[in-house]
């Protein structure tokens, strides 16, 4: 096997962006320097990708005028309202203040850019659609035809976008005093409103021009203020309070809502809900599906926001993706994008099953789970009682195929599967799985525990023949052994394991750094945001990890794949929606579900500090 590691390029300087959107429509990059919208996207199941609309520089750019003269933007203060909605305070030359808000309808296919001005001004929103792309990892340009015309209902401009595989339309309007410059034989639009106090631009999106025009009428009927307050009230209702610590409350909820709207999408063509890594093109593998990311990180956080949607997604995603369990990455329709078996991904189907109601498990779902089990069985090593993997949780090749954390996740998942089969009367299958649970537990303690530096610890991996590796891969951190209930926090082997990896013995531990989270092969110079989540869930490290989190702003409050060990600024993997779900869930689990928080279980980290 050739050990090829695909490392992401480090970010030099991570610029702040705001974002907005609902499950139909994403607005992933709002420029905090000029208030422009760089792009928007919708999901297309038939194209197995996001359909992205981009401008030459920006798709929508605001300009401000008074008596025909453009007013310079001196600065912008950017913030979020209720942990999600973008808020832009424009400071214009001459002392004019303008407040801008960019938001979608909570459920409909529409976007609003609203303004509130301290003086009477004119505002233009320049629309420049340069490229239509299929977004999946990279943006792949599509050859489309664009026709701009006026709609028959409101006489407002409509852009019709179509090709053999893409059909989309945008309709534009304003709350009042809306105009548009002549667009005959042009591919751009200069939309205009006057603003004394409040006004807005409406941007409706749909499958075709008729749908976009009708949606525009609906948005205007509802009104921008009603649409905004409906969304704001929903966010307030769904916000998870943590009054003990406003900083951690902010981190929890910002990551919670970004995950909810950016790792879940509703297909424009069929209204089917889909899951994906991220809808943000800032994330280097956006627009695709990872079982681990969805089942272990994203969906548990979705459940905190909407248990009904969680139940629906669990069922639909298992049925859609179980035909190819454990493959490195899928297209959003469940077909294989990136081959390579990953045991933790296959096992993640069974982790999902905890605490679901009995009626959920009909024959179709049971059959899908049995297919996952059958695929996993092909990796069974009868000599050790353990299961093999080809790739690690970081998606990089395994040096040795029997990996501790993968088998622990499977051990925990098999317990859920066993209990469901018992309830369904499948006694023999349940007994078979129960024996495998025992074999895994025995095999880990026999083959994956070894005395290192005078103390027994859990190894990372082995071939079962005496060769082993000392390593800790952050997306599958050994710190989560307690979370998966394989050990308790007082287990001496677990304590020794954490002490070893978070010490100068381990090359990916930065002893003198401001933030002592671990790096890994995938990003060897920068600590892991995913590893930080694992440490938050680790009762021996949770107190230290919460302190590290305060120092690691990462992607302006959102989780990043990795970050600078001293400044805490993002270095790889920004716009990482499913990873944000992992952080939100981890914080909720430790601060609220378990009733813990700062001050718990400092023992192990204190011992490390003395080394």
Proportion of the chain above pLDDT 70, given as a percent: 97
Q: Is pLDDT at 602 greater than 50 in this prediction?
A: no
> Which pLDDT band, with edges at 50, 70 and 90, does 313 fall under?
very high
Q: Is pLDDT at 1 greater than 90 in this prediction?
A: no
Q: Is pLDDT at 598 greater than 70 in this prediction?
A: no
Helix (H, G, I), strand (E, B) or coil at 578: helix
**Burial (CB count within 10 angstroms: exposed 0-12, middle 13-18, buried 19+), residue 449:** middle
> CA angle, 412 as apex, 407 and 413 as ends, to 5°?
95
d(CA 475, CA 394): 6
Tokens 């920006």 locate to: 58
What average pLDDT does range 109-138 have in this prediction? 97
**246-609: which CATH topology?**
Glycosyltransferase (1.50.10)
pLDDT in tens, 425-462: 999 999 999 999 999 999 999 999 999 999 999 999 99
> CA angle, 539 as apex, 538 and 540 as ends, to 5°?
90
The whole-number pLDDT of residue 593 equals 85
Task: Tell me which H or E stretch contains 127.
Answer: strand 110-128
Q: Is pLDDT at 599 greater than 80 in this prediction?
A: no
Q: Is pLDDT at 476 greater than 90 in this prediction?
A: yes
d(CA 140, CA 552): 33
d(CA 470, CA 468): 7
Beta strand spans in 220-261 (E): none
> Which pLDDT band, with edges at 50, 70 and 90, does 153 fall under?
confident
pLDDT in tens, 182-214: 998 888 999 999 998 899 999 999 999 999 999
d(CA 43, CA 40): 11
> What is each CA distance from 105 to 67, 204, 219, 240, in whole angstroms?
33, 10, 8, 22
d(CA 384, CA 442): 9
The terminus-to-terminus CA distance of the chain in angstroms comes to 38
The whole-number pLDDT of residue 594 equals 81
pLDDT in tens, 403-419: 999 999 999 999 999 99
pLDDT in tens, 362-408: 999 999 999 999 999 999 999 999 999 999 999 999 999 999 999 99
> What is each CA distance from 203 to 25, 104, 569, in whole angstroms?
11, 9, 34
Q: Are 526 and 501 in contact (CB under 8 A)?
A: no
Q: Is pLDDT at 606 greater than 60 in this prediction?
A: no
The whole-number pLDDT of residue 611 equals 33
Q: Is pLDDT at 35 greater than 90 in this prediction?
A: yes
Q: Are 198 and 115 in contact (CB under 8 A)?
A: yes
> CA angle, 35 as apex, 33 and 38 as ends, to 5°?
95
Beta strand spans in 267-421 (E): 273-275, 327-330, 336-341, 380-381, 386-387, 402-403
Q: Are 127 and 188 in contact (CB under 8 A)?
A: yes
The whole-number pLDDT of residue 536 equals 98
d(CA 322, CA 373): 10
Q: Are 142 and 134 in contact (CB under 8 A)?
A: yes
Instruction: Output the average pLDDT for the chain.
Output: 95
**Burial (CB count within 10 angstroms: exposed 0-12, middle 13-18, buried 19+), residue 149:** exposed
d(CA 3, CA 399): 8
What average pLDDT does range 159-188 have in this prediction? 94
Helix (H, G, I), strand (E, B) or coil at 120: strand
Tokens 């000029």 locate to: 34
**17-238: which CATH topology?**
Beta-galactosidase; Chain A, domain 5 (2.70.98)
The whole-number pLDDT of residue 515 equals 97
**Burial (CB count within 10 angstroms: exposed 0-12, middle 13-18, buried 19+), residue 455:** middle
The whole-number pLDDT of residue 359 equals 87
Determine how many CB atoms are found less than 10 A away from the CB of residue 174: 23
Tokens 């990136």 locate to: 338
> Which pLDDT band, with edges at 50, 70 and 90, does 601 fall under?
very low
Tell me phi and psi for residue 39, to 5 degrees: -160, 165
What average pLDDT does range 512-540 have in this prediction? 97
Tokens 């270095």 locate to: 571
Q: Is pLDDT at 15 greater than 70 in this prediction?
A: yes
Sign of the alpha-carbon torsion through 506, 508, 512, 516: negative
> CA angle, 591 as apex, 586 and 596 as ends, to 5°?
120
> Which pLDDT band, with edges at 50, 70 and 90, does 331 fall under?
very high
Q: Is pLDDT at 343 greater than 90 in this prediction?
A: yes
Q: Is pLDDT at 116 greater than 60 in this prediction?
A: yes
Tokens of 133: 């792309």
- pTM value is 0.96
d(CA 333, CA 49): 9
Map out the domains of the chain as residue ranges: 17-238, 246-609
Task: Tell me which H or E stretch contains 405.
Answer: helix 404-423
The whole-number pLDDT of residue 390 equals 98
Length of the chain, please? 611
The whole-number pLDDT of residue 358 equals 86
Which residues make beta-bridge pairs with 186? none
The whole-number pLDDT of residue 481 equals 98
Determine how many CB atoms are found less than 10 A away from the CB of residue 165: 14
Q: Is pLDDT at 605 greater than 50 in this prediction?
A: no
Where residue 23 falls (left for φ over 0; alpha for ψ -120 to 50; beta otherwise) is alpha
Tokens of 567: 């400044």
Sign of the alpha-carbon torsion through 128, 131, 132, 135: negative
Helix (H, G, I), strand (E, B) or coil at 21: strand
Q: Are 340 and 351 in contact (CB under 8 A)?
A: no
> Which pLDDT band, with edges at 50, 70 and 90, does 166 fall under?
very high
């Amino acid at each position: 096997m050739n050990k090829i590691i695909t490392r992401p390029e480090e970010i030099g300087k991570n610029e702040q962006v705001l974002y907005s959107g609902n499950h139909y429509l994403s607005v992933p990059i709002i420029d905090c320097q000029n208030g422009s919208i760089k792009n928007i996207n919708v999901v297309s199941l038939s194209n197995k990708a996001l359909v992205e609309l981009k401008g030459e520089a920006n798709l929508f750019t605001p300009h401000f005028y008074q008596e025909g003269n453009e007013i310079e933007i001196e600065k912008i203060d950017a913030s979020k309202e209720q942990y999600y909605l973008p808020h832009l305070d424009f400071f214009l030359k001459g002392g004019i203040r303008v407040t801008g808000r960019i938001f979608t309808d909570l459920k409909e296919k529409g976007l609003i850019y609203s303004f509130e001005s301290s003086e009477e001004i004119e505002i233009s929103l320049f629309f420049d659609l340069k490229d239509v792309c299929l977004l999946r990892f990279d943006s792949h340009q599509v050859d489309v035809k664009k026709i701009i015309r006026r709609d028959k209902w409101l006489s407002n401009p409509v852009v019709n976008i179509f090709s053999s595989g893409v059909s989309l339309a945008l309709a534009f309007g304003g709350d009042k005093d809306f105009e548009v410059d002549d667009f005959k034989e042009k591919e751009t639009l200069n939309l205009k409103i006057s603003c004394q106090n409040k006004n807005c631009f409406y941007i409706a999106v749909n499958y075709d021009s008729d749908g976009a025009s009708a949606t525009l009428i609906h948005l205007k009927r509802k009104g921008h203020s009603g649409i905004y307050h409906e969304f704001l009230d929903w966010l307030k209702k769904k916000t998870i309070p943590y009054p003990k610590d406003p900083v951690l409350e902010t981190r929890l909820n910002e990551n919670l809502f970004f995950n909810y709207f950016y790792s879940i999408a509703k297909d424009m063509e069929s209204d089917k809900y889909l899951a994906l890594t991220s809808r943000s093109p800032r994330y280097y593998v956006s627009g695709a599906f990872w079982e681990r990311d969805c089942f272990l990180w994203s969906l548990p956080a979705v459940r905190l926001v909407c248990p009904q949607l969680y139940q629906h997604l669990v069922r639909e995603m298992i049925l859609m993706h179980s035909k190819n369990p454990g493959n490195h990455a899928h297209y959003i329709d469940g077909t294989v994008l990136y081959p390579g078996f990953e045991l933790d991904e296959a096992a993640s189907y069974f982790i999902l099953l905890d605490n679901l109601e009995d009626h959920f498990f009909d024959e179709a779902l049971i059959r899908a789970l049995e297919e996952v089990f059958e695929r996993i069985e092909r990796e069974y090593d009868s000599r050790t009682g353990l299961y093999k993997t080809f790739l690690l949780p970081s998606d990089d090749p395994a040096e040795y195929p029997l990996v501790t954390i993968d088998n622990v996740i499977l051990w925990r998942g098999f317990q859920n599967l066993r209990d469901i089969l018992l309830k369904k009367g499948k006694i023999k299958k349940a007994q078979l799985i129960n024996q495998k649970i025992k074999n895994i537990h025995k095999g880990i303690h026999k083959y994956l525990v070894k005395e290192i530096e005078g103390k027994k610890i859990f190894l990372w991996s082995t071939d079962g023949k005496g060769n082993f590796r000392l390593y800790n891969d952050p997306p599958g951190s050994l710190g989560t052994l307690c979370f998966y209930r394989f050990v308790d926090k007082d287990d001496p082997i677990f304590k020794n394991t954490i002490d070893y990896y978070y010490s100068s013995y381990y090359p990916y531990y930065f002893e003198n750094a401001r933030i002592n989270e671990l790096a890994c092969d995938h990003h060897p110079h920068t600590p892991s945001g995913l590893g930080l989540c694992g440490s938050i869930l680790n009762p021996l490290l949770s107190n230290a990890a919460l302190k590290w989190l305060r120092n690691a702003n990462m992607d302006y409050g959102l989780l990043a794949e990795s970050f600078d060990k001293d400044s805490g600024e993002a270095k790889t993997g920004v716009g990482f929606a499913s990873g944000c779900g992992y952080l939100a869930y981890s914080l909720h689990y430790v601060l609220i579900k378990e009733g813990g928080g700062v001050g718990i279980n400092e023992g192990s980290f204190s011992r490390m500090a003395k080394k």
